[in-house]
Amino acid sequence: MKYRSEYIREKKETIVYLGEKETDYNLDHIFDCGQCFRWEKESDGSYTGIAFSKIANFSIIDQNLIIKNSEEGDFEKIWYNYLDMSEDYGHIKETLITNDKTGIMEDAIKVGKGIRILRQDTWETLISFIISQNNNIPRIKKNIGDLCRTYGKPSGVYKERKFFEMPDAVDLAKLSEEEINPLKLGYRSKFLIDTAKNVKEEGNIRQDIGSYMGVGPKVESCIRLFGLHEMDSFPIDVWVKRVMNRLYGFNEKDVKGMGDFAKVTFGEYAGVAQQYLFYYVRVLEGK
DNA sequence: TTCCAGGTGGCAT
DNA sequence: ATGCCACATGGA
């Protein structure tokens, strides 16, 4: 553990001292950069959500990361890994800025300097990004929330609110398209059930993620980046096309050119670069 | 009304 | 291999 932490039993609270690394942490950047869909901002600026069956509330105050609703050991067992706290984002940012001679990445990092690539559950990421296709972020959040609330195991209650886990492949494989019609997932329902059936039958998630119904190149690269922590994976969606077109001068249709550029310029950290750019262009556009 | 959103599968070249 | 286009849904 690179960080000093303290657990306060009577408050069910963990305090993690970030020190000078605080600059590599920003909850808005982390939870609002489109990588996750199950965290909501509270009126006090903190974020509440669920991951790996644990409900938590995060805030950052005076160089401290505060984890509310935590049990003793949750930080070491769950959140240290989930928040990718072993990774040195200062080094990643320096590398990306040095390698991108245009200065665009430097500007993007100024805006989204506290982004981290969460180490999310692969199955949840697979389902989430099947739902994400040709969809917008608020509705993706609603769709996933509805799915978990309707078919997921209750995980607990925090501040009078119930939280539910992502239903597993066995549970989703039982469902029919007609049955989940009220969730209004649209044509994605079929992909979701088909994928669940395959994962159930095969007993694990395939290496060839793109062979699932509803998983094309973009969704696959999101699952690799967010669900398998392949940091060089560079998902190209409408927003990345936009930033590559408007700031880097690529033709909007030249997806191959964008991918090649990212691989050469951003290398092993292309996925992190993609998140800075995604967040940046959305801020520029007023989201 | 039309366009858009973290696109993809199916089909025709 | 590449180019269209239909596909559900809801907000702007």
> CA at A226, C1' at B6: how many angstroms apart?
12
Angle at which helix A122-132 crosses helix A188-202, to 10 degrees, equals 160
**pLDDT tier for residue A1 given thresholds of 50, 70 and 90:** confident
> CA at A224, C1' at B1: how many angstroms apart?
39
Other C-beta atoms lying within 10 Å of the C-beta of residue A7:
17
> CA at A82, C1' at B4: how many angstroms apart?
32
> CA at A202, C1' at C2: how many angstroms apart?
33
Mean pLDDT of A243-268: 97
> A215: which nucleotide lies closest, measuring CA to C1'?
B8
Please say whether the beta carbons of A165 and A50 come within 8 A.
yes
Place of tokens 């609110």: A161
The 10s digit of each residue's pLDDT in A176-220 is 999 999 999 999 999 999 999 999 999 999 999 999 999 999 999
E strand spans, A76-195: 154-158, 161-164
The pLDDT > 90 percentage for chain A reads 98
Which of A272, A284, A283, A165 is closest to A225 using CA atoms? A272
The pLDDT > 70 percentage for chain A reads 100
> A139: which nucleotide lies closest, measuring CA to C1'?
C10
> CA at A214, C1' at C1: how many angstroms apart?
20
> A181: which nucleotide lies closest, measuring CA to C1'?
C8
Other C-beta atoms lying within 10 Å of the C-beta of residue A116:
22
> CA at A37, C1' at C4: how many angstroms apart?
32
Strand C nucleotides, any atom under 7 Å to a protein CB? 7-11
The 10s digit of each residue's pLDDT in A25-44 is 999 999 998 999 999 999 99
What is the amino acid identity at position A225?
L
> A221: which nucleotide lies closest, measuring CA to C1'?
B6
Q: Would you state the pLDDT for residue A2? A: 84
> A34: which nucleotide lies closest, measuring CA to C1'?
B6
How far is residue A126's CA from residue A36's CA, in Å, rounded to a whole number? 12
Please say whether the beta carbons of A18 and A60 come within 8 A.
yes
Please say whether the beta carbons of A185 and A131 come within 8 A.
yes
Place of tokens 């696959």: A220
Please report residues contacting nucleic strand B, using a CB cutoff of 7 A: A 33-35, 132-140, 187, 191, 212-220, 222, 235-240, 274-275, 278
Q: Would you state the pLDDT for residue A287? A: 81
> A136: which nucleotide lies closest, measuring CA to C1'?
B5
Which of A232, A223, A236 is closest to A129 using CA atoms? A223
Which of A46, A85, A83, A87 is closest to A68 using CA atoms? A46
| Mean pLDDT of the residues in chain A | 97
The 10s digit of each residue's pLDDT in A123-178 is 999 999 999 999 999 999 999 999 999 999 999 999 999 999 999 999 999 999 99
> CA at A4, C1' at C4: how many angstroms apart?
57
